[in-house]
Amino acid sequence: MRVAMIGTGYVGLVSGACFADFGHVVTCVDKDASKIDRLHKNIMPIYEPGLDALVEQNVREERLFFTTDAKEAIADADAVFIAVGTPSRRGDGHADLSYVYAAAEEIAELIDGFTMIVTKSTVPVGTGDEVEEIIRKKRPDADFAVVSNPEFLREGAAIKDFKIPDRVVVGTDSERARELMRELYRPLFLNETPILFTARRTSELIKYAANAFLAVKITFINEMAELCEAVGANVQEVSRGIGLDGRIGNKFLNAGPGYGGSCFPKDTLALTKTANDHNTPVRIVDTVVEVNAARKKAMAGKVIKAMGGDVSGKTIGVLGLAFKQNTDDMRDAPSLDIIPALIEAGAIIKAFDPEAMEEAAKLMDGLNYVENAYEAVDGADAMVILTEWDQFRALDLDRIKESLKSDIVVDLRNIYSPEDMAKRGFEYTSIGRPS
């Protein structure tokens, strides 16, 4: 099949490369000429493990193309995917759909013959109806179907999530579109991936409901961690103890400094706005948004407390800046709350992240970015782990101990064992576990 992918952000680029790898002919379109230029040179706009190799191979085998010219891509496409950004609108938290609607206007002009227009961007319920109306108004003669096909990929594991998904959700009432979507996802059918066909509005809601539910799960275990700290229990064991119950499941029960990233903060907020607009508030998600924001703010206090209540003039070696491992994404990263608060309290920060320092430097100044973990802790009064990168999981702790001025380690991702750290003579603080 011939596919046009509008937008070469995370979702667009990964989906485009993976559809090409399934054997379809995919043209990715972006208005940003320098981005397309770099893609032609196989320079990725984001850090995602395995993506450059996948793009390189599919470009070489002439199944994947990049262009700024939407016309060329759309005119003979069977499916046109809208994978543009839907950021939070400033002020009210609603998803900003201006890019989606602009794409619909452009697509309307260019489609030729039966075409599926598929929204992969995360869009509020009813957006498909709007897209359909925009296209119908401009091209009353056109033969098309608007389909919702939300993406559930996680940054850092995006290719695997695309190729081995838990499920594929397709929202449309057009039988013809269903057939084409089956064709597009045929390799997954062969792997027996469940493909769920629903009405378009249901599919749009599934995406928000999934992300909100996961945010609830994380926030629940984060509150349990607080309780564990108060009563002397161990949150990792609580997670395991409840997670072994098949009805609960063991995933997304790692307590930490609060969720961040490009999806959960934006999508939970957008869901609560939609729900309030329809006078059916989802109070549990309202609370989760509030609790998570407060948690990220409270984490600097935890570090300050572990350092004796005063960090003025003290140096802190920070390991990890990205909102999670295996990404350079800094959107809503807990580090953006924690580090400025520590600087405000008088601390001197030396920070290292394997991929996110360039992004972080655009958002935070007043700290020293260094070359590796050991340099960050050299002569520091404490080591603070903010992101669970694999390379921080097996540090040479003897070397760390020698380099640090004190023995204080604050681990906001629970990647070390309290017993082991105590044995090694560290003053170790983690999340929801007795030290």
Closest to 357 in 3D by CA, of 328, 334, 377, 378: 328
In whole angstroms, the minimum distance from the beta carbon of 162 to ligand UDX comes to 10
In whole angstroms, the minimum distance from the beta carbon of 270 to ligand UDX comes to 13
Phi and psi at residue 224, to the nearest 5°: -60, -35
**3 CB-near residues (< 8 Å, 6+ apart):** 16, 19, 24, 25, 26, 27, 77, 78, 79, 80, 81, 184
Q: Which two three-digit tokens encode residue 264?
A: 């959960």
Closest to 73 in 3D by CA, of 111, 24, 114: 111
Site residues (CB under 6 A) for ligand UDX, limited to 247-276: 252-254, 256, 259-264
In whole angstroms, the minimum distance from the beta carbon of 151 to ligand UDX comes to 6
Nearer to ligand UDX, 58 or 236 (CB): 236
Phi and psi at residue 180, to the nearest 5°: -65, -40
Given the rule CB under 6 A, which of 53-61, 211-219, 307-315, 390-398 is the region that contacts ligand UDX? 211-219
Q: Does residue 355 bind ligand UDX (CB under 6 A)?
A: no
In whole angstroms, the minimum distance from the beta carbon of 256 to ligand UDX comes to 4
In whole angstroms, the minimum distance from the beta carbon of 375 to ligand UDX comes to 25
Beta bridge partners of 408: 382, 427
In whole angstroms, the minimum distance from the beta carbon of 218 to ligand UDX comes to 4
Torsion of CA 208, 211, 215, 217, to 10 degrees: 110
Nearer to ligand UDX, 74 or 156 (CB): 156
Nearer to ligand UDX, 197 or 213 (CB): 213
Among 218, 225, 341, 376, the residue binding ligand UDX under the rule CB under 6 A is: 218
Torsion of CA 178, 179, 185, 191, to 10 degrees: 100
Beta bridge partners of 116: 79, 145
Tell me how far the alpha carbon of residue 120 is from its chain's centroid.
Answer: 15
Q: Check if 263 is active-site.
A: yes
In whole angstroms, the minimum distance from the beta carbon of 245 to ligand UDX comes to 16
By CB under 6 A, the count of residues binding ligand UDX is 20
Nearer to ligand UDX, 26 or 158 (CB): 158
In whole angstroms, the minimum distance from the beta carbon of 5 to ligand UDX comes to 17
Instruction: Count Cβ atoms below 10 Å from residue 291 Cβ, excluding itself.
Output: 17
x-or-dash string of contact with ligand UDX, 27-66, rule CB under 6 A = ----------------------------------------
Nearer to ligand UDX, 63 or 120 (CB): 120
CA-CA distances (angstroms) from residue 223 to 57, 238, 270, 291, 299? 45, 12, 23, 9, 13
The one-letter code for the residue type at 293 is A
Site residues (CB under 6 A) for ligand UDX, limited to 139-178: 151-155
Question: For the range 42-48, what are the long-range contacts, defined as Cβ-Cβ under 8 Å and sequence gap of 24 or more?
Answer: 44/13, 45/8, 45/9, 45/13, 46/9, 46/10, 46/13, 46/327, 46/328, 46/329, 47/326, 47/327, 47/328, 47/355, 48/10, 48/14, 48/155, 48/156, 48/158, 48/159, 48/327
Nearer to ligand UDX, 22 or 264 (CB): 264
Q: Which two three-digit tokens encode residue 425?
A: 């003579």
Site residues (CB under 6 A) for ligand UDX, limited to 319-338: 323-324
In whole angstroms, the minimum distance from the beta carbon of 279 to ligand UDX comes to 27
Phi and psi at residue 195, to the nearest 5°: -115, 120
Could you say which of 18, 28, 228, 263 is catalytic?
Answer: 263
Nearer to ligand UDX, 259 or 369 (CB): 259
Beta bridge partners of 184: none
Half-sphere exposure of 266 (CA within 13 A, CB side): 20
Phi and psi at residue 398, to the nearest 5°: -65, -40
Helices (H), 232-310: 235-243, 264-277, 283-306
Nearer to ligand UDX, 83 or 107 (CB): 83
* Residue whose beta carbon is closest to ligand UDX: 263
Nearer to ligand UDX, 315 or 387 (CB): 387
Q: Which residues bind ligand UDX (CB under 6 A)?
A: 151-155, 211, 214, 218, 252-254, 256, 259-264, 323-324
Catalogue the active-site residues: 263
